[in-house]
Structure 1
Amino acid sequence: MKIAIAQLNPTIGDLPGNAQQILEAAKQAAAEGARLLLTPELSLCGYPPRDLLLNPSFVAAMGVTLQQLAQDLPPNLAVLVGTVEENLKAHITGGKSLFNSIALLEEGQVKQVFHKRLLPTYDVFDERRYFEPGLQANYFTLDNIDIGVTICEDLWNDEEFWGKRSYTVNPIADLAIIGVDLIVNLSASPYSVGKQQFREVMLRHSAVRFQQPMIYANQVGGNDDLIFDGCSFAMNRQGEIISRASGFTTDLVVVEFDETQQDLKSATVASPFASEDDEIWQALVLGVRDYARKCRFSKVVLGLSGGIDSSLVAAIAVAALGKENVLGILMPSPYSSEHSISDALALSENLGIKAQILPIANLMQSFDRSLADMFAGTEFGIAEENLQSRIRGNLLMAIANKFGYLLLSTGNKSEMAVGYCTLYGDMNGGLAVISDVPKTRVYSLCHYLNRDREIIPQNVLNKAPSAELKPGQVDQDSLPPYEILDDILQRLIHNHQSADQVVAAGHDPVIVDRVIQMVARAEFKRRQAPPGLKITDRAFGTGWRMPIASNWFALKNAYPAKASPTPTLK
């Protein structure tokens, strides 16, 4: 039996468009002799649909679209389609009104429907808000082959692999007990750095443990802050990858199940990513391209400071949308260095984009005059520095509004973490492209871009980072060196280490305490930031749910390292 994997890029809520994608993949699969086509989790509506699921008309329309799709599919092809189904017993059991489901379409009908059993409620996932878990193992028989069906999270609960169980059941083990011939997993698994390697190791463990050939079909594309890398693959009983789809692009691959050997035969295997920088670059380019396309923007604008962050964002934008669709705006102030202009112009020439210079000195003077009486007797400080950023932000927003461009903000994760950014200034924008990219990784990505020829001007890479909001300013006037800052942030944000643990790793306790305070104080800024593309397992986006008004970080140093849960504070 030939089985096709359709690695699709749905647009959330576009039921007719998504159905057409499935139909076109089905026609291609049928032309290649496939008997079964796999599509990703919620392929009909796109993942994650979030509160669209609370709209009864949306759910009803999905059902109508599913029935029509079943009638339109090629004959002699069975198709697994990700959809939702109503929980008709919800009013009796008190459960959720929907299931996250996979429908088996064949011969013009919905033959069977299978429900997701494990519903994640961590990081960016909130499926318990909408769905009731399925209670039984899912499988169907096609041409005398028993095929087990699992949906995304159903794969992620092997107690031998994890050393624990996060849920009471293991759907893979249940299917092995039943004795199915093959297990498929239909996923919408968001990207983070190194996740594909982890998926393959995890799936290999299950394939070998249960002696089950397994096929993993994953969604691809960008939906809001989430990026889906695809990288669908198939594994034989020995845990060997016999097929892999390309990353960060739609694809259709066909594998063959040998009934005699009861195993999958070798097929096309796409190469893995060359490096972490390679995969991050591809993820960011796809994220920008899809965010613009799915929000119906064709052109973008961004501020070019001559710094490394805006240089990287401009390069990403060009790769995503084409140089003719990217506009760079240079807005020098009296504090801007000569090289900030020349470096920005060199970058625009390297990328082939249009650049416009809008000096802001006169605007700064106007603001100074307007605020002269109010600020009389005070010293020049943060308020005056931030006015420059806010003037630039206003100009960029005006250009975006006037011409219908998407404004890209250029702040990195290190800055977002500690609040080294200006509300209503450099934080303005419709998409924060590198807000999950630490400063040290920004440099790494730029060196990766320059591996064959100079794209990012060498002076941009060599000079000390600076916001240039006052004479002679550099970032390290306000922040620790980025190598130190990023390591502290990695330990605090990603590894959930305590201050004592970070200090024990070799960091200055004064710096650690200062960074912790900065992260806490900047929460109100992050709450007002544009959506940012997620590339790590702990991004400042959907999965970051910190309170703004909180005293924990301010009070924590009053607690001894091994204090009781409720110490008495003096």
Structure 2
Amino acid sequence: MADRFRVTLAQLNPVVGDITGNADQAFAAWEQARAAHADLIALPEMFLTGYNAQDLVMKPAFHTAAMNAAKTLAQRCVDGPAMAIGCPWAEGGKLYNAYLILKDGDIASKVLKHHLPNETVFDEVRVFDAGQLGGPYAVGDVRVGSPICEDGWHEDVSETLEETGAEFLLIPNGSPYFRGKMDVRFNHMVARSVETGLPVIYLNMAGGQDDQVFDGGTFVLNPGGALAVQMPVFDTCISHLDLERTAEGWRALDGEKASLPDVWEQDYRVMVEALRDYLRKSGFEKVLLGLSGGVDSALVAAIAVDAIGAQNVRCVMLPSEYTSAESLDDAEAVAKALGVHYDYVPISEGRAAITNTLAPLFAGRDADLTEENIQSRLRGLLLMAMSNKFGEMLLTTGNKSEVAVGYATIYGDMNGGYNPIKDLYKTRVFETCRWRNANHRNWMMGPAGEVIRPNVIDKPPSAELRDDQKDSDSLPDYPVLDALLEILVDQDGSVADCVAAGFEDVDARRVEHLVYISEYKRFQSAPGARLTQRAFWLDRRYPIVNRWRSPRET
């Protein structure tokens, strides 16, 4: 009976739909495991298809291709360690989220996910069938239990595996980031290790997919919750874990213990990785954005440079007669500090042409929001023309506060293929700019030091679509607005909850109304990096037409 067991943990980044490429990644990792004399190599949940494949996984041709790829991969991995890999599996007219054990040229075992998450970004009850509770699988003379992702958050699966002979738990995950997620994971996994008295290996994937970033952070706990291994967050990496048989059962030997960054760094890294992978996986190498001299576009420019390098970022200033000299100076300073290509494209002639074209129709009517939005939509048109001509993805730059209340022009400044700061409230935008100025990491491709000059951060925010315009003319001050949105959006609270927290009823009702009537804009908005559990898209699914408002207290 073996007294040592080596597991190679492959914290890798699959591409949804690239079944062949994902299989090749898995095979390359298997070769490393074989060279390291591992007994088993483990890859994350649904690795062969990429995750989250959503409705694509239900397409028969797709999940059949994945199953065939798993069989082919098993045949490639004959002379070496067993492989555990996530893949959809169809049998008996049902489709499962499965974890396949490839051994001796064949699929030796299948674990079928039992608890299917059906909240926030997950819709697995709709996509998959629930598997029955099962027992462990054997690798040599060692019995391994593998609750799949959500199954690890419920005590019944792990307890069943322990009772049926599992000697340690290997839990494959496709677990996306939200602020504070690592603490949630640790709490659940510590509970499993205490309840079962077994070592727990929590294996997570890395990389971005649409709005989500899988932040890695694979870790290993010994019984009672003692940390044996902590792999880095966000990075793709492969680590070899040794377990040793003792009189009390298997124990993981201590390995690397990477430090975890603070929440500001993690949020910023998510925005960088989300953009980087969105571009890479959709086939874009370059981006452009309108650089207004304001704080939002400055932060998006910094994120873009850190994601793909200054040589791949084009910033465009599109001034009108309302654009201040201060904004012109600030935009140019940010562009120079970041080292990006900078274009200056005034919109006055185009705006005059549009105004003249519409003049007969608008005769006798006063200028209003219509004329302001023409400026924004003209900028959107010009930026999209550059995007088409140069093959650069247009980034949009609205923060979560603006996205929430519709303080943005549809088909104007909302134009774009991706929005890195879509889930970042304005008050956090300010602080994130300060954080980036003060911090630099080796995963950033941009320069160190101050890249967003203080005046950009400190001046009163303005859309500059009319004389002396300030955001505060149309909205509560951002500290108040964001606090109200935290209650109404992030906590799903009511106007009464806002009033109980000390805010004015009139302000809360106004903000609630703006949130509801802006749903149609969000429905048509670009995807963006998910930072919280209440990001706009899959986390919060509201009707576009909706007359509900919080009732008034009587």
The offset of 1:179, in angstroms, is: 3.9
The offset of 1:196, in angstroms, is: 1.2
Of the candidates 498, 517, 525, which is equivalent to residue 521 of structure 1?
517
Of the candidates 213, 222, 238, which is equivalent to residue 227 of structure 1?
213
Pairwise mapping of residues 129-528 of structure 1 onto structure 2 (< 5 A)?
Answer: 129-158=126-155, 170-260=156-246, 261-273=249-261, 275-452=262-439, 453-528=449-524
Q: Secondary structure at the match of 1:530?
A: coil
The offset of 1:533, in angstroms, is: 1.4
Q: Matched residues in 2 for 1:397 and 1:241: separation?
A: 50
CA contact (8 A) 2:135 2:164 kept: no
Q: Matched residues in 1 for 2:220 and 2:111: separation?
A: 21
Q: Secondary structure at the match of 1:34?
A: coil
Corresponding position of 1:161: none
Of the candidates 109, 113, 118, which is equivalent to residue 112 of structure 1?
109
Q: Percent identity?
A: 40
The offset of 1:315, in angstroms, is: 0.5
The offset of 1:376, in angstroms, is: 2.1
Q: Matched residues in 2 for 1:187 and 1:454: separation?
A: 38
**Equivalent AA in structure 1 for residue 40 of structure 2:** L
Question: Which moves more between the two structures, 13-22 or 172-181?
Answer: 172-181
Q: Secondary structure at the match of 2:214?
A: strand
Q: Matched residues in 2 for 1:46 and 1:438: separation?
A: 30
CA deviation string 1:318-361 (max 9, x = no partner) = 11111100000100000000011111111111101010000001
- Matched residue pairs, number? 539
**Equivalent AA in structure 1 for residue 102 of structure 2:** L
The offset of 1:174, in angstroms, is: 1.7
Q: Matched residues in 1 for 2:164 and 2:106: separation?
A: 26
Q: Matched residues in 2 for 1:200 and 1:138: separation?
A: 24
Q: Secondary structure at the match of 1:257?
A: strand
CA contact (8 A) 2:198 2:250 kept: no
Q: Matched residues in 2 for 1:262 and 1:67: separation?
A: 31
**RMSD (Å), alpha carbons:** 1.3
Q: Matched residues in 1 for 2:256 and 2:235: separation?
A: 16
Q: Secondary structure at the match of 1:150?
A: coil
Alignment of 1:6 with 2:10, yes or no, is yes
Corresponding position of 2:64: 60
Of the candidates 33, 42, 66, which is equivalent to residue 46 of structure 2?
42
The offset of 1:74, in angstroms, is: 5.7
Alignment of 1:557 with 2:544, yes or no, is no
Corresponding position of 2:34: 30
Q: Matched residues in 1 for 2:339 and 2:188: separation?
A: 44
Q: Secondary structure at the match of 2:203?
A: strand
Corresponding position of 1:70: 74
Q: Matched residues in 1 for 2:528 and 2:89: separation?
A: 31
CA contact (8 A) 1:534 1:541 kept: no
Corresponding position of 1:17: 21
Corresponding position of 1:93: none
Corresponding position of 1:164: none
CA contact (8 A) 2:159 2:195 kept: no
Taking structure 1 as the reference length, what is the TM-score of the superposition?
0.93
Q: Secondary structure at the match of 2:158?
A: helix
Q: Matched residues in 1 for 2:79 and 2:255: separation?
A: 25
Q: Matched residues in 1 for 2:281 and 2:87: separation?
A: 20
**Equivalent AA in structure 2 for residue 157 of structure 1:** H
The offset of 1:405, in angstroms, is: 0.8
Q: Secondary structure at the match of 1:86?
A: strand
The offset of 1:122, in angstroms, is: 0.8
The offset of 1:55, in angstroms, is: 2.0
CA deviation string 1:375-407 (max 9, x = no partner) = 222222111111111000000000001111111
CA deviation string 1:143-183 (max 9, x = no partner) = 3222111111112234xxxxxxxxxxx21222233242101
CA contact (8 A) 1:225 1:542 kept: no
The offset of 1:50, in angstroms, is: 1.5
**Equivalent AA in structure 2 for residue 104 of structure 1:** I
CA contact (8 A) 2:16 2:53 kept: yes
Which segments of 5 or more consecutive residues in structure 1 lack a partner in the other structure? 91-96, 159-169, 562-570
Q: Secondary structure at the match of 2:551?
A: helix
Alignment of 1:536 with 2:497, yes or no, is no
CA contact (8 A) 1:115 1:138 kept: no
Quickly say closer, same or farther: Cα 1:269–1:74, change in 2 above 3 A.
Answer: farther
The offset of 1:138, in angstroms, is: 3.7
The offset of 1:444, in angstroms, is: 1.2
Q: Matched residues in 2 for 1:181 and 1:230: separation?
A: 24
CA contact (8 A) 1:417 1:519 kept: yes
Q: Matched residues in 2 for 1:182 and 1:264: separation?
A: 9
Q: Matched residues in 1 for 2:226 and 2:450: separation?
A: 40
**Equivalent AA in structure 1 for residue 105 of structure 2:** G
Alignment of 1:124 with 2:110, yes or no, is no
Q: Matched residues in 1 for 2:468 and 2:350: separation?
A: 21
**Equivalent AA in structure 1 for residue 128 of structure 2:** F
CA deviation string 1:119-149 (max 9, x = no partner) = 1111111112221101122411223222111
The offset of 1:550, in angstroms, is: 1.2
**Equivalent AA in structure 1 for residue 154 of structure 2:** N
Q: Matched residues in 1 for 2:191 and 2:401: separation?
A: 36
CA contact (8 A) 1:491 1:497 kept: yes
Quickly say closer, same or farther: Cα 1:74–1:306, change in 2 above 3 A.
Answer: farther
Taking structure 2 as the reference length, what is the TM-score of the superposition?
0.95
Q: Matched residues in 2 for 1:488 and 1:176: separation?
A: 47
CA contact (8 A) 1:326 1:354 kept: yes
Q: Matched residues in 2 for 1:534 and 1:271: separation?
A: 23
